[in-house]
Amino acid sequence: MKGARGRRWRHLVGIALVLAWTLPPFLYLVMLSIKPERILIDRSQVFFWPTFERYRDLIGSGLGLPIWNSLVTSTLGSVGTLVLAGLAALTFSFLEFKWKTLLFLVILLPRMFPPVTTLIPIQLMLKTMGLIDTRLALIILFTGFQIPLAIWVLRTFLDDIPRELTESAALDGASLPVIIAKVILPLSGAGLLAAFILSFIFNWNEFLFPLIVTSFNARTGSVAIMSFTAGYKKLQWGTLATLGVVMTIPVILFVLAFRATLVRGFTAGALKG
Amino acid sequence: MGMRWAMLGRGRLYFWLLTLPAVLYVVTWRLAPALYTVWLSLTQYNIVYDNLPRWNQFANFGRIMHDRGLGGSLFLSVEFALIATAAELVIGLAAALFFDTDPPGRNLLLGIFLLPMIMVPVVVGTVWSTLFDRTVGPIPYAFQLLHGPTIQWLATPATAMFALLIADAWEWAPLVTLLLFAALQVIPREQFEAARVDGASGWQLFRRITLPQIAGMVLVAAGLRMMDAFLELDKVFVMTGGGPGTSTQFVSMFVYKQAFQFYELGYASAVIIVVLILLAVAYGIYLRSSGRAFRLASP
Amino acid sequence: MVLFRKAGYRMAAGLIALLLLLPVGVISSHAAGMTTLTFLGPDFDEWIAWVAVANKIGAGMGIQVKPEYLPWDDVFQKALIDSKSGVKTWDYVYIYNTWVPGLSASKAITPIDEFMNTPEGRTAVQPDDFIPESTAGLKLNGKLWAMPMLAAPYMMGYRTDLFNDAGEKQAFQAKYGYPLAVPQTYKQFMDTAQFFTRKKGEMLAGKPLADDFYGVILANKRGGFMFHRFEHILIAHGADLVYNPKTMQPTVNSPESIAAVKYYIQLHQYMQPGTETVTGGGAERVMASGRGAMAMDALDNMLSVLPLSKLSTVVGRINYALLPTGVPSRPHANVGDANGLAIYALSQHKPEAFKLATATLSTQGTKEVMKEYPALVPMRTSVVNDLEVRRNYTDVFAAMSLQIKYKPYTVFIPPLKEWIQAQDIYENALSSAMSGQQSPEDALNAAQAQEVELFKRAGYIK
């Protein structure tokens, strides 16, 4: 049947395009990371005996704790964000009130502030609370950082929930927490996932604040890995490539592990025909 | 869209309580330090040499007026943000539509497509810097092999900007795809079937059914990208360091230099404030018109 | 609902894991009676070597050193911000000579002089043993602000096999009218660079080239590298480092300065093509893969790449020479570079820190560090002249002997509060002129106007 074959063709072309767009730079990075130093610059040498010593060096330099710190702080930070932002997004979505646009702007504004000038007051605040170099400090900061983004994304998803469902539940006499749990939450799976993934990624890649706030105990992966190249001397293509690969691997694994849930979350819900 | 709060069965107070934690959080950890920035903008404060900020009223802002470098930076940032966002919307939408057709291995493919977005921005900058590097990079090598023109990729203003745009599109189109795909998934399939039965063409399906229903998310994606691209720092820093001369010195590079290389926190704060006022105005307009556009687009 | 429950389990698992982990965080390894000193510095090989040696020597004193490695620029930032917010974590801080004015002004570090009021203090430091040309950068207002550790004099590395090749020598003499030799003047440097720049397929030392070959390899990345290489040429041409220190007047568009920029633009034709985007280490990698005839870089940069067989294809074929001379009054002019170990002002263990620092950076200590890191360029005359060093580290000895013997004209970056801004303005102009966006005169005239405005604002001139 022409339709089916045409569709398969289109699928194949599409798949090829997607892979051709995304993979080459990353594969190039991987290739650089295992290319021996002596022939690194020789572009014509595409086939070679790979060397894994860069990875050995990197892992030997004690990345276990920092990466674990990153995982913990990013996840819990995102969870915190979802909770706070979720509640706020409900208000923005379901409620009409006079200063809505303004309040939205006010919440959004801090996101536009480059964190540069807020470093010192935040460092001082954390020091007074005795939280320097703790994971808790990072979790607190991360939760706050992504709230604006999360509110924005969640609100758009919440807007899509048909009001008849919530209205009918309310008319049936359900209280607000019940409405949230039984009606809103199941239908906002996609939104929650999207917001979680986005904030997790931003938290994971956050460099400046962990750099200033932590030193030994709560050091994150991003800081540890960046310091491995230590500025100008070692900032080499090979080392950098290794770095890039190592920093991305955990998140890749995370996304791949959850991809089924991810997509199911998007397609779940009573709304899809 | 906006619903009467009474329909949810609880009083206004409830809602304010819901929002309060988030608002308080943002106020303490984001807004208050931000106010510190406002105060700093009225001082002379070189964090290395000045023990304490010294009040100098509006001297910083006066200096901004004369600072041609800043004007140039603003223009470059706007230019970059506009082109990058446009490119990302097109590419992202195309990819989202493709994923919506349910190709085999879609989950895995989507995961792969999202890779650039989850990479550390500095690493993305390094990858593309290496790709374009004239000694080590494959792109100039390919040009060389195919006897193309020898281009000084990152050393010429026009091509440096182009390189940055490609890197940005590669990195962030997946974000647009993520958001638009989620929106596409929510469109009920019956609408398409019914329209197809009536003999609608692909393009008509897209324009009449798809587009209106993802319009909201398109605007969200556009807004997010515009803002982030405007404040782009990592890739510029790694790839061009501000460009040949100052041809890719975006606003964020300008602020970074003031704050982290010159350590002039007072002036940097003033620049941030000015940029933010401009952004806030732009966003106010955006939110107003997007609300209107959304209402117009809804069936 | 299924989704919710699954997510709920995961969240619960995560929370439990976190709760288990929170208390685990703060375990400090306190062996009985051991003092732990912390070191904040970059992850460079020489500092890793130093930490190893410090732990070895410190074991005998009941001290252990715990390093915290950060990217180079961030070390300064962290030291600054931590000291401003009263954080007491650190004992040692790595310091680069251009950071001395800043960190001393913000009282983040304690000068070594404070420990030298006693005879024991002085003998421990042995201040007269330091090579003055290298340590001047770590001194300010008559005080020494850090224990000198690694000198990084800028020198020329060149391919001995090419310079000794009979065929090349003949061709050079024929073309330029004087014998091929290590360039002593910048005119000779330009000629040599031009001579050796060849395309793939042309002959070099009797063999056809598999790749393009370049006269000189340099790192010209914007944001610190470009100006750092150019500044030597700038002062060699007789110009000021941006301003005249006596009159405090910027001299960016002086005839000497313009001449230097023009020279650099001309030299650019003979540099490797990726020069604008490569850092120091990257440039040396290019040199190490045999693509260049000469390289101009910090000595320790070159030494850490070129002689290592793992990284380099030109092992044994590189010698080092002083930079060429421009104006005769400034022989082998260069801008000095120094790295040191400073003591954090808020350190809680200052006496121990001083004791260990002087022990590890004494003559004997430096030799131990060199065993771990052979490319270390010492700042003590006694180390350079030591018999063992002479025997085992011939490159270092040869290069540093040149420095000691010929005493090249060395200046250091001035301790000006606005130096980085002033340098940035100049580098902008240089980059603009090099990419052809503006003529050198236009670029430098514009830069001069900006410099004057900067200096006026800072109050140095009216």
Residue with tokens 């060149």: C158
Kindly state whether residues A25 and A62 are assigned to the same domain.
no
- Which is nearest to A41 in space by CA: C44, C156, C272? C272
The answer to whether residues A33 and A113 belong to one domain is no
User: Does residue C240 fall inside a structural domain?
Assistant: no
Structure tokens at A109: 């504004």
Q: Are residues A219 and A244 in the same domain?
A: yes
Confidence check: pLDDT of C1 > 70: no
Q: Which of residues 77-96 of A touch C (CB under 8 A)?
A: 79
C177 in the same domain as C313: yes
Say whether both A225 and A170 belong to one domain. yes
Residue B226 lies in a domain: yes
Helix (H) or strand (E) holding A117, with range, is none
Pick the residue from chain C with its C-alpha nearest to B68.
Answer: C450
Does a structural domain hold residue C452? no
Instruction: Tell whether C113 is covered by a domain.
Output: yes
Q: Please give the backbone phi and psi of residue C254, each rounded to the nearest 5 degrees, phi first.
A: -70, 160
For C70, which DSSP code?
Answer: -
C94 and C128 both lie in a single domain: yes
CA of A207 vs chain B CAs: smallest distance (Å):
9
Largest CA distance in chain B: 76
SS3 (DSSP) at B74? helix
B74 pLDDT more than 70: yes
Name which of C263, C344, C321 is nearest C90 in CA terms.
Answer: C344
**Chain A residues with CB inside 8 Å of B28's CB?**
144
Residue B287 lies in a domain: no
Same-domain pairing of A107 and A232? yes
Q: Are residues A73 and A42 in the same domain?
A: no
Number of structural domains found in chain B: 1
Instruction: Say yes or no to pLDDT of C29 above 60.
Output: no
Please give the pLDDT value at position A117: 65
Taking contacts as CB-CB distances below 8 angstroms, the residues of chain A near B123 are 29, 240, 243-244, 247-248
What pLDDT was estimated at residue C326?
92
Please give the backbone phi and psi of residue C39, each rounded to the nearest 5 degrees, phi first. Answer: -125, 125
A158 and A182 share a domain? yes
3-class secondary structure per residue, C14-26: HHHHHHHHHHHHH
Enclosing domain of residue C326: 154-220+271-335
Find the chain C residues whose C-beta atoms sit closer than 8 A to any C-beta of B. Answer: 73, 77, 80, 84, 102-103, 105-106, 221-223, 272-274, 276-278, 286, 291, 417-418, 420-421, 424, 428-429, 431-432, 434-435, 437-438, 443, 457
ipTM over 0.90 threshold: no
Predicted confidence (pLDDT) at residue C164 exceeds the cutoff of 60: yes
DSSP C291: -
Full domain range(s) for residue A26: 2-51
Task: Inform me whether the pLDDT recorded for C28 exceeds 50.
Answer: no
Looking at residue B173, its pLDDT comes to 93
Query: Which SS3 state, helix, strand or coil, does residue C223 take?
Result: coil
Q: Tell me whether residue C417 is in a domain.
A: no
Domain identity same for C364 and C311: no
**pLDDT digit of tens for each residue in chain A (273 aa)?**
456 777 788 888 889 999 999 989 888 888 888 888 777 777 777 788 888 888 887 777 777 788 888 889 999 999 999 988 888 888 777 776 666 667 776 766 666 666 666 777 787 788 778 787 888 888 988 888 888 878 877 877 777 777 787 777 777 776 767 777 777 777 777 778 878 887 888 888 888 888 888 877 888 877 877 776 544 445 567 777 887 788 777 777 777 777 766 565 555 433 333
Per residue in B80-129, pLDDT (tens digit) is 999 999 999 999 999 998 888 888 888 888 888 888 887 778 778 888 88
CA distance linking residue A227 with residue B67, whole number of Å = 35
Which parts of C165-271 are beta strand (E)? 203-204, 207-208, 214-217, 243-244, 249-250
pLDDT band of residue C5 (cuts 50, 70, 90) is very low
Indicate whether C55 belongs to any domain. yes
Q: Which residue has the tokens 């020329």?
A: C156
Based on the domain organization, do C169 and C67 belong to the same domain?
no
Instruction: Work out how many domains chain A is built from and give that number.
Output: 2
Look at residue B280 and tell me if it is in a domain: no
If asked whether residues C305 and C344 sit together in one domain, one would say no
CATH code of A152's domain: 1.10.3720.10
Option in B1, B14, B112 nearest A176 (CB): B14
Half-sphere exposure of B127 toward its Cβ, with a 13 Å CA cutoff?
28
Strand-pair partners of C296: C156
| Structure confidence at residue B158 as a pLDDT band (50, 70, 90) | confident
Kindly report the CA angle at A196 between A156 and A93, in degrees rounded to 5?
A: 25
Test mutation, B29, B255, B260, chain A, max A CBs within 10 A: B29
pLDDT, tens digit (0-9, with 9 covering 90-100), for C285-323: 889 888 899 999 988 888 888 888 888 889 989 999 999
pLDDT surpassing 60 at residue C158: yes
Q: Is residue B49 part of a domain?
A: no
Q: How far is CA B166 from CA B75, B169, B237, C138, C425, in A?
A: 19, 5, 15, 44, 29
Instruction: State how many domains chain C has.
Output: 2
C33 pLDDT higher than 90? no
Q: What gap in Å lies between CA A230 and CA B157, rounded to an integer? A: 29
H-helix segments, C197-331: 225-236, 255-268, 280-288, 299-303
Same domain, A231 and A263: yes
Asked, for residue C457, whether it belongs to a domain, the answer is no
Is A273 within a domain? no
Same domain, A118 and A10: no
Closest residue, chain C, to B50 (C-alpha): C106
* Model pLDDT for residues C238-255, shown as the tens digit of each residue: 999 999 989 999 999 999
Kindly report the pTM of this predicted structure: 0.82
Q: Is the pLDDT score of C16 beyond 70?
A: no
Residue C368 lies in a domain: yes
Question: Is the same domain home to C114 and C131?
Answer: yes
Which residue among B135, B246, B262 places its CB closest to the CB of C273?
Answer: B135
Given a cut of 70, is residue B63 above it in pLDDT? yes
> Average pLDDT over chain C, rounded to whole?
86
A171 within some domain? yes
Classify residue B3: in a domain, yes or no: no
In a domain, B286, yes or no: no
Chain C contacts of A133, Cβ < 8 Å?
89
**How far, in Å, CA of C348 to CA of C212, rounded?**
56
Residues A41 and A23 in one domain: yes
**C164, C65: one domain:** no
Strand duo C35-41 + C63-69: pairing: parallel
Q: Are residues A154 and A230 in the same domain?
A: yes
- Please indicate, yes or no, whether residues A97 and A17 belong to a single structural domain of this protein: no
Domain harbouring C183, CATH code? 3.40.190.10
* C39 pLDDT higher than 80: yes
pLDDT tens string C382-430: 888 888 888 888 888 888 888 888 888 988 888 888 888 899 899 989 9
pLDDT of residue C445: 94
Do C321 and C368 share a structural domain? no
10 Å CB burial of residue B65 (0-12, 13-18, 19+) is: exposed
Question: Could you report the per-residue pLDDT of B264-294, keeping only the tens digit for each?
Answer: 888 888 888 888 888 878 877 877 777 666 5
Question: For chain C, what is the largest distance between any 2 Cα atoms, rounded to a whole number of angstroms?
Answer: 88
pLDDT of residue B11: 62
pLDDT in tens, A39-58: 777 777 778 888 888 888 77
Is the pLDDT at C4 greater than 50? The verdict is no
- How much is the pLDDT for C451? 93
In a domain, B292, yes or no: no
Q: Is the pLDDT of residue C176 over 90?
A: yes
| Separation of alpha carbons B66 and B277, rounded Å | 18
Tens of pLDDT, residues B215-261: 888 888 888 898 889 888 888 887 887 778 788 889 888 888 888 88
Q: Which domain holds residue B142?
A: 68-257
Say yes or no to pLDDT of C268 above 50.
yes
pLDDT-based confidence at residue C106 (cuts at 50, 70, 90): confident
Residues C72, A231: C-beta atoms closer than 8 Å: yes
Model pLDDT for residues B169-210, shown as the tens digit of each residue:
999 999 899 888 888 887 888 888 888 788 777 777 777 778
Question: pLDDT by residue (tens digit) across C44-81?
Answer: 888 999 999 999 999 988 999 999 888 887 889 889 88
What φ, ψ does residue C240 adopt, rounded to 5°? -85, 160
Q: How many CB atoms lie within 10 A of CB C460?
A: 17
Q: Domain for residue C236, yes or no?
A: no
Query: Residue C347: pLDDT above 70?
Result: yes
Minimal CA separation from A269 to chain C, in Å: 10
| Residue B158's CATH number | 1.10.3720.10
Q: What is the pLDDT of residue A111?
A: 67
Q: Any residues with CB less than 8 A from the CB of C412 and at least 6 apart, and which?
A: C97, C136, C137, C335, C336, C338
